[in-house]
Chains A and B, each alone.
Chain A
Amino acid sequence: MKQFITFVRKEFLHIFRDSRTMLILLGMPMVQMLLFGFAITTEVRNTKVAVFDPSQSMETRAIKERFDASEYFTIAEEIRDVSRINDVFKYGEIGLVMVFSDDFENELHQGGDAAVQLITDGTEPNQASMITGYASNILAQSMQELSESSSAPCRIIPEIRMLYNPQAESAYNFVPGVMGMILMLICAMMTSIAIVREKENGTMEILLVSPMKPIYIILSKVTPYFTLSLVNLITILLLSVYVLGVPIAGSLSLLFFVSVIFIFLALSLGLLISNVVNTQVAAMLVSGMGLMMPVMLLSGLIFPVESMPIPLQCLSAIVPARWYVDAIRKIMIQGAEIQFVLKEIGILLFVTVALVALSLKTFKNRLN
């Protein structure tokens, strides 16, 4: 036991004395969270609006004028052709498309109910919901004005559609993604580098020749990174709740439970890498290219898995981080209970057990 404690203390000294390691370990999570967090726009001002207005009536003109007069919107384009609606977003200028029904004024005066479709770009879900909020507000004001001037009561019913992101997934989906990436980075990459460094220094030879059991060597190498991962997990959660204002919808203990499984998974991956490579550079390349890239690209951190082509979706299924990110997303954002993430937990547990077994099996108590 004393051996173990001394060894762990030594590992912590390595980490604390290397400013670069410290920076990666503690600075990286913060920087990533803040970068992703502030990349999200929450302000709506002078959003350009495209209008499809087949009736060109007085009423619709009044509504358009009201939009144009507000500080939030500017009418930028009149669309003549329905089929162009989808195209206008592609040029990135237009933030909202307003589509009046063919016979807007008659519907309004005769039936009392008229529909307006508000179409926004769902790739920025946060901004899209703000825009529709303001737009609905202006429509409500117009409705009141029209009601006062007309004899019969009338209603305008806004019908909201988000293009590209029909489920209106929250903008804060990146938080689980960053968690997956950071944990992978710290556990797998840092652990493998720390072990391989001993190989490069020749100190691994001494450790192997010593009476210390290889399992202790592994455990004591892994413990500091396990601890640091937990610290980072807590940092990320605190940042996301208090700085970015993303609440944790589900159970905190479930969140930690799933995270700990994932940490073990990543640690054993790191161990596995360190068993097969002999230089720090190789360890960095393998964990960087082999682990980080898939996590970034295939786990839904940057691109939603649902909108990937089928082959990539299949590929993403073998990236363990994808299942972790999925589970965390469900728990944290959607507030799911344990029964809804059983599949993810099961997959993660299975992979972890397999990897631990594999890395213990490939750990050599000799050199070659």
Chain B
Amino acid sequence: MKEEYVIQAENLTKRFGDFTAVDHITFNVRKGEIFGFLGANGAGKTTAMRMLCGLSRPTEGKGTVAGFDIDREPEKVKRNIGYMSQKFSLYEDLKVWENLRLYGGIYGMKDKEIAEKTDAVLRSIDMETERDTMVCDLPLGWKQKLAFAVSTFHNPKIVFLDEPTGGVDPITRRRFWEQIYGAAASGITVFVTTHYMDEAEYCDRVSIMVDGRIKALDRPMALRNKFGVSDMDEVFRMLAREATRKGD
């Protein structure tokens, strides 16, 4: 049986002038997989992620996300993905439910569907009592939880998480990962970047980018065995040491 890929990148390349930010990267992500996208600052992660989200056109190569071509059908790509960054794209001056309604509306969901989904989501993240709370009054960890719920509110096939756990305390960070597991178990594919190397272990597979290229791509355990080290931190360091690029 052929495996179902929701992200396929083939020789994806992005050049800015004579600078090649992303240099012929090729990889596939399976449905329901948690895919860790690692790399040093300036390795090209953000640029690659922008291309996959349909925000930036590749200079060369091709990619499909959720079955749509990222170059020719970026609008369809955007309909089928969710996105969450470190800055938690929530409106601080709106109430919790208003944020959810807004995003549902943006993705063209019906009012009834939005209402039902709002109840279900708030129940699942244990925030039913916070329905009418202003987002700015929520603790950081709750905002993070809500931001993730918002990014998956329209049932996207894939959710892109850009350093979602920066600055939160260790317990909240782990709870957040449990939320990610839940989403993955329900069939959503998770594409995540992080600077916490212990979080790399929580991914099904990780890729490590160095100087615009993917230098390693495998399950965390396989990578550790391959490099003969005990944790991902060391794998990362061994690979990143080869980096020559210094600019962002």
Asked whether any CB of A lies within 8 Å of a CB of B in the complex, the reply is no
